């Protein structure tokens, strides 16, 4: 295997050589050696080390012959008794691999490892491959247990030592991800600085016993913040390896956060209901000794970092709002309210574009009591519309009382994390992807007859949507240029190896897109059963990452509603989405047996393709719709 196939250089090993041996199963090995010699780096506080479930990753710089500056997440220890050990990172087993899943560990903690032994099976974006050892030693600690999903390339998954006696000497803090957080928290540091900053957690390490700081993990590739839905453990509870600490609402679903270390939950920094906690921000502190819980809990400096950040943000917002403000324009509704309540318009901050004073600004001032009463006229040059009827209607519609008191005339609906991410991604898609729209009406009579035949002759019940999925998947297989995506890095179109259909499912928290993988190769009954199972999981918030990540094409069906046609927005990085409208009976001319045109009633359905114009040109789009029309006209083609 060529070294260039390694997506990120993962080798940092001063005393030894890098060896990559070609094997039949294409295994790469990534080891990061940290010896006791590194313990002498000055200005590193060992007590600031923290550990979390391995979700943040480190890309360790330096291959043999290239000196590393130790600025990319190597953990340092100040104890002279710390043994030499090796951090085994998630390898890049394919050119496109950015993360992998631990399918099975072949070795257990404490096992002897020889050169060439299989450490574990790793599920990549292409296949399940074996991960071989290039060094002999002992497996001291497994940081990513079996079943761990979406482990980024470069993240530490295990620790090995050279001697069996060193297994118990490996510090409990080894394998944490706080170094990445520390480095990210100080982007203004000089590039040549070789020592990461201390943890941003506001904890005086000199006053606290040995402890671990648990950070908000990145449980999906697009996650940058999460919400604490529920804590499964309470302060003071015993924690075992594999215990569920809490449930975290991500941008995709509500997932469980497992513990990779045993100990005691000393302090919860982000209580239940905490919203928009940034990835890498501390959420809890654990200790090894039960007697240390009280010392951490009562520490004056071990305060709730999440609350501190939120209060600081709130103070900053309040400070902005209290700054002297003025306005250049005023909306008619705002002018009515100011006149009605006798407010001083110059004391109300304007939040509208170009300094426009909006109705919401006046309502906020009334609610907070900041709008001082002043009968001075509003200094605006814009002529105001008639006031009498507007005053009455505005007062009645907003529920304002004559005595100046006001009822809330609206309700703020808290947005779920999923809906926030959907909103951001849709906006990004429309701004960055050139949308091409193509539409056509297809005849449904053949499809409906086929569906009726399956039910009457074979007692197989499938929906119209199940057959539509199969029809579109078959068309994508027949026109592979349509089953592709645009690679921004390479600036070229990349064809997908499989036809994986993302199906839009509406849930209470937002729109989810579970995936029917290899839909072109599955029967309609299999597609029907799978979509029912995935839709149920989506509505319950129980979808696994591999069940909604990685589709190649999307379908959004509103045929169950009175919607004839609509245009959907592309779900990046995919290049196409089909919007399916409802079926309608229409009258069309048909040629009779005698060759004379006669009116005929047919069932038609509108399909609208939203496509990335960088991938779909007129030729590809036309070929794709030709294949779609042929499949709908002769549904038996699906059985071939």
Q: How far apart are CA 128 and CA 122, in angstroms?
A: 5
Dihedral angle at the C-alpha atoms of 392, 395, 398, 403, nearest 10 degrees?
A: -160
Judged on CB neighbours under 10 Å (0-12, 13-18, 19+), 619 is exposed
Q: Which residues contact 499 (CB under 8 A, 6 or more apart)?
A: 473, 476, 477, 483, 518, 519, 520, 521, 552, 553
Q: Is 617 a catalytic residue?
A: yes
**The pairing of beta strand 553-557 with beta strand 576-591:** parallel
In the set 276, 445, 564, 613, the catalytic residue is: 613
Could you tell me if 330 and 344 are in contact, meaning their C-beta atoms sit under 8 angstroms apart?
A: no
- CA–CA dist 599, 590 (Å, integer): 6
Strand order in the sheet with 254-258: 254-258, 244-249, 225-231, 277-278
- Please report, for the chain, how many H helices and E strands are present, in that order: 11, 29
Q: Which residues contact 337 (CB under 8 A, 6 or more apart)?
A: 343, 359, 362, 363, 366, 394, 398, 400
Can you give 240-279 as a three-state secondary structure string?
Answer: CCCCEEEEEECCCCEEEEECCCCEEEEEECCCCCCCCEEC
Comparing CA positions, the residue from 396, 321, 402 lying closest to residue 365 is 321
Smallest CA-to-CA distance from 75 within 9, 221, 148, 173 is with 173
What is the rounded CA–CA span in Å between residue 196 and residue 217? 20
Pairing state between β 85-89 and 31-34:
antiparallel
Catalytic residue among 189, 315, 487, 617: 617
Helices 445-458 and 618-633 sit at what angle, rounded to 10 degrees?
A: 40
What are the structure tokens assigned to 294, written together?
């009280």
Give CA angle at 324 (318, 326), nearest 5°.
115
Q: How far is CA 208 from the centre of its chain?
A: 35
Enter the tokens of residue 491.
């600036």
Asked if 44 and 58 count as a contact pair (C-beta separation under 8 A), the reply is no
Q: Are 638 and 471 in contact (CB under 8 A)?
A: yes
Catalytic residue numbers, as ranges: 613, 617
């Amino acid at each position: 295997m060529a070294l260039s196939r390694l997506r990120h250089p993962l080798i940092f090993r001063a005393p030894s050589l890098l060896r990559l041996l070609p094997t039949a199963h294409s295994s790469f090995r990534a080891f990061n050696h940290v010896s006791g010699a590194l313990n002498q780096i000055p200005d590193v506080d060992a007590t600031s080390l923290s550990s979390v479930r391995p979700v943040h990753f480190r890309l360790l710089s330096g291959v043999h012959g290239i000196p590393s500056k130790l600025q990319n997440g190597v953990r340092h220890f100040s104890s002279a008794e710390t043994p030499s050990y090796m951090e085994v990172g998630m390898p890049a087993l394919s050119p496109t691999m950015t993360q992998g899943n631990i399918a099975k560990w072949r070795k257990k903690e404490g096992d002897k490892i020889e050169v060439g032994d299989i450490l574990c099976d790793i599920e990549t974006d292409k296949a399940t491959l074996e991960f071989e050892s290039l060094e002999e030693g002992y497996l001291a600690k497994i940081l990513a247990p079996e079943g761990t999903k979406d482990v980024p390339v470069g993240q530490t998954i295990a620790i090995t030592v050279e001697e069996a006696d060193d297994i118990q000497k490996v510090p409990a803090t080894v394998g944490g991800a706080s170094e990445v957080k520390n480095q990210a928290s100080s982007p203004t540091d000089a590039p040549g600085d070789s020592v990461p900053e201390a943890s941003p957690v506001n904890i005086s390490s000199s006053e606290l016993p040995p402890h671990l700081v648990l950070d908000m993990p990145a449980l999906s590739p697009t996650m940058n913040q999460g919400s604490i839905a529920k804590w499964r453990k309470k302060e003071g509870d015993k924690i075992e390896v594999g215990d569920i600490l809490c449930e975290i609402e991500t941008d995709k679903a509500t997932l469980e956060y497992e513990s990779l270390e045993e100990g005691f939950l000393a302090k919860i920094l982000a209580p239940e209901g905490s919203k928009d906690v940034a990835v890498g921000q501390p959420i809890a502190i654990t200790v090894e000794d039960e007697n240390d819980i009280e010392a951490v809990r009562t520490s004056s400096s071990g305060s709730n970092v999440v609350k501190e950040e939120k209060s600081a943000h709130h103070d900053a917002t309040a400070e902005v709002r209290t700054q002297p403000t003025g306005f250049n324009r005023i909306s008619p509704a705002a002018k009515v309210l100011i006149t009605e309540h006798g407010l001083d318009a110059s004391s109300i901050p304007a939040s509208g574009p170009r300094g426009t004073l909006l109705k919401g600004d006046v309502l906020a001032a009334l609610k907070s009591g900041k709008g001082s009463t002043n009968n001075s006229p509003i200094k605006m040059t814009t002529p105001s519309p008639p006031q009498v009827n507007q005053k009455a209607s505005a007062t009645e519609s907003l529920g304002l009382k004559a005595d100046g008191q006001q009822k809330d005339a609206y309700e703020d609906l808290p947005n779920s994390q999923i809906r926030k991410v959907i909103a951001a991604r849709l906006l990004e898609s429309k701004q960055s992807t050139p949308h091409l729209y193509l539409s056509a009406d297809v005849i449904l009579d053949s499809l409906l007859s086929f569906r009726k035949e399956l039910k009457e002759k074979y007692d197989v019940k499938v929906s119209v949507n199940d057959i539509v999925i199969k029809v579109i998947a078959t068309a994508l297989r027949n026109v592979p240029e349509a089953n592709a995506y645009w690679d921004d890095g390479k600036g070229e179109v990349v064809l997908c190896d499989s036809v994986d259909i993302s199906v839009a499912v509406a849930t209470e928290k937002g729109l989810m897109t579970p995936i029917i993988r290899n839909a072109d190769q599955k029967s309609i009954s299999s597609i029907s059963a799978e979509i029912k199972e995935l839709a149920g999981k989506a509505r319950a918030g129980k979808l696994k990452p591999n069940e909604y990540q990685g589709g190649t094409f999307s379908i959004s069906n509103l045929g169950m509603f009175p919607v004839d046609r609509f245009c959907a927005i592309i779900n990046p990085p995919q290049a196409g989405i089909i919007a399916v409208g409802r079926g309608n009976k229409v009258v069309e001319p048909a040629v009779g047996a005698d060759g004379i045109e006669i009116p005929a009633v047919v069932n038609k359905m509108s399909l609208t393709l939203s496509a990335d114009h960088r991938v779909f040109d007129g030729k590809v789009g036309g070929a794709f719709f030709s294949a779609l029309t042929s499949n709908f006209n002769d549904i038996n083609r699906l059985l071939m």
